[in-house]
Amino acid sequence: MKSIEEINAKIREGSVCVVTAKEMKEIVTEMGTKKAAKEVDVVTTGTFGAMCSTGVFINFGHADPPIKFKRVWLNDVEAYTGMAAVDIFLGATKISETREFYGGAHVIEELVFGKEVEMRAIGFGTDCYPRKEILTSISLQDVNQAVMVNPRNAYQRYRAATNSSERILRTYMGTLLPNYGNVTFAGTGEISPMNNDPEFRTIGIGTRIFLCGARGYIIGEGTQHSPPFGTLMVKGNLKEMKPDFLKACYFPGYAPSIFLGIGIPIPVLDDEIAKATGIKDDEIKTTIIDFGVPRRDRPTVREVSYAELKSGKVEINGQDVRVSPLSSYYIAEKVMKELKKMIEKGEFFLSMPVERVKRNEIFKPMKQREIRIVREFMTKAVTINEDLSIEDAAMLMIQKNVNHLPVVDKEKVLKGIVTSWDIAKAITVGARRVEEVMTRDVVTVFPDEPIAIAISKLEKYDISALPVIDNKKRVLGIVTSETISKMLGV
């Protein structure tokens, strides 16, 4: 048993034994937990990944005459101003109003690099803050405080992503190729901070951490914290951060984001902590989920360990699928080594939490007023066979007063669709049977999908109806933009 005071005394004397989490795995395997607990004082953990829930509070000081910000932009990226006169919060994923592939993350990066950014603001014009606009350039040296405060960072583990659909998906998990073409995953597994202290004995409120090269602090559990998918809320001084441990990025089709380097030192107080820091990738499990289904609860494709993910290939439906990480182990290792060096040099002391974070919490879904599903909007489909003549199809449309005829086989399985437009086309090209003019690649929906999904499909493909099918592709009905408009009153 060691106390944090004893460890800090050793740091002061220069006799502390610090190892990285990567080194600790070998030490625990070789020596066993008892001996490892005795020999090692501190284990440094690290991660370096895109962390969207990141931002910076900045206070600019007062202009003359003074202004209370109504709206403010840094390099044309808008920041939040609903606080005191010249306090703002700039979020990492906010998109620039004028520049492509540029956002809050890039402004934060430029500031850390020591560059100037343009600040433009409009004010309310009050008796106490009469000024109505200002345009100036600022760097980190010019502002009073620039404090990074991140609601959710350093995910303990994360669900890996794949895509069963037939189109490329551009997501915050990177580009996902069709038909399970690849898998992407985030997190550094066995060297990631929370995996090395899963009971949150030393990682808690008030713990001093390495945040992008600066000394930072944990200020609470992160939003959506739900161990073993734990998260942390952290803060640190942007003015002390180093460009090596922070990188702005942009995920095509999604938004800007920012790679952050976070390191947490774990004091090895007893055998139990030594054992926890010996954890290996094959013991850390997550799931691969399917982004091809655009729902909140995406289906799980399979369970997987970080060891399998890091091997570069995982098996899905009997096929080897290639895997891409989203976090950089290379820089995560640099974080662990840098933190180790800081502790050895006596520049970084450890602290115990003043309060522990919750070890069991549930991540609730959003409370919605109602979720209306496709089934409510579905009407009876008038179906036909593919050998029907154009004349008969035209007649049927008039008789039944419909514009869409799903084409089915004997088992009611969807084969295509014919619209009144197709009938017009058939006449101009002299087609005789519906199979000659029908659309074979039909966009469909399932009855229990939210109506919002049907609406986005109608808009995306610029069509006016979707056959509703079951999982055997049998036609159950049809949902048309006309019915949706009528029922939603838009």
Partner 1 sequence: MLLLLRFDSKTVREPIISMTSIKTGTPINILKADVGARRGEIIVEVPEERAKEVEKILIEMEVEVQEITKTIARNDNCVHCGLCISICPTEVFRLNGENKVEMKTEKCIHCGACIKVCPTMALYFPI
**Residue 215, C-beta contacts closer than 8 angstroms, at least 6 positions apart:** 208, 209, 236, 237, 240, 348
* CB nearer partner 1, residue 166 or residue 462: 166
Which pairing describes strands 160-162 and 285-290: parallel, antiparallel, or unpaired? Answer: parallel
* CB nearer partner 1, residue 101 or residue 421: 101
Q: Which of 179, 182, 224, 483 forms a contact with partner 1 (CB under 8 A)? A: 182
**Residue 111, C-beta contacts closer than 8 angstroms, at least 6 positions apart:** 56, 117, 139, 140, 146, 238
Binding to partner 1 (CB under 8 A) within 98-117 occurs at 101
* CB nearer partner 1, residue 10 or residue 247: 247
Q: Which of 69, 129, 155, 259 forms a contact with partner 1 (CB under 8 A)? A: 259
* CB nearer partner 1, residue 338 or residue 422: 338
Active-site entry in 17, 52, 128, 212: 128
Binding mask 82-101 for partner 1 (x = CB under 8 A): -------------------x
The minimum distance between CB 257 and partner 1, in angstroms, equals 7
Binding mask 309-328 for partner 1 (x = CB under 8 A): ---x--------xxxxxxxx
Cβ–Cβ < 8 Å for 171, 253: yes
Binding to partner 1 (CB under 8 A) within 213-252 occurs at 247-252
* CB nearer partner 1, residue 95 or residue 177: 177
- How many residues form the binding site for partner 1 (CB under 8 A)? 32
Stretches 78-86, 87-95, 179-187, 468-476: which one binds partner 1 (CB under 8 A)?
A: 179-187
Amino acid at 127: D
Which pairing describes strands 133-138 and 117-123: parallel, antiparallel, or unpaired? Answer: antiparallel
Answer yes or no: 249 catalytic: no
Q: Which tokens is 446 given?
A: 């399932």
Cβ–Cβ < 8 Å for 169, 251: no
* CB nearer partner 1, residue 101 or residue 461: 101
The minimum distance between CB 271 and partner 1, in angstroms, equals 30
Concatenated DSSP letters of 311-335: TTEEEETTEEEEEEESS-HHHHHHH
When asked if residue 304 is in the footprint of partner 1 (CB under 8 A), the reply is no
Pairs from 300-308 (Cβ < 8 Å, separation ≥ 24): 301/162, 301/164, 301/180, 304/160, 305/281, 306/157, 306/185, 306/187, 306/189, 306/190, 306/281, 306/282, 307/189, 307/280, 307/281, 307/282, 308/282
The minimum distance between CB 329 and partner 1, in angstroms, equals 4
* CB nearer partner 1, residue 85 or residue 108: 108
When asked if residue 155 is in the footprint of partner 1 (CB under 8 A), the reply is no
Q: Burial, 30: exposed, middle or buried (Cβ in 10 Å; 0-12, 13-18, 19+)?
A: exposed
Any idea how long the chain is?
490
Nearest to 257 by CA among 246, 242, 271, 269: 246
When asked if residue 280 is in the footprint of partner 1 (CB under 8 A), the reply is no
Q: Which of 17, 63, 95, 177 forms a contact with partner 1 (CB under 8 A)? A: 177
| Integer Cα distance of 230 and 200 in angstroms | 10
Q: What is the dihedral of CA 391, 395, 396, 401, to 10 degrees?
A: 140
When asked if residue 267 is in the footprint of partner 1 (CB under 8 A), the reply is no
| Integer Cα distance of 405 and 478 in angstroms | 9
When asked if residue 298 is in the footprint of partner 1 (CB under 8 A), the reply is no
The minimum distance between CB 192 and partner 1, in angstroms, equals 14
User: Which residues here bind partner 1, judged by CB under 8 A?
Assistant: 48-50, 101, 174-175, 177, 181-184, 247-252, 257, 259, 312, 321-331, 333
- Where in the sequence numbering do the catalytic residues fall? 128
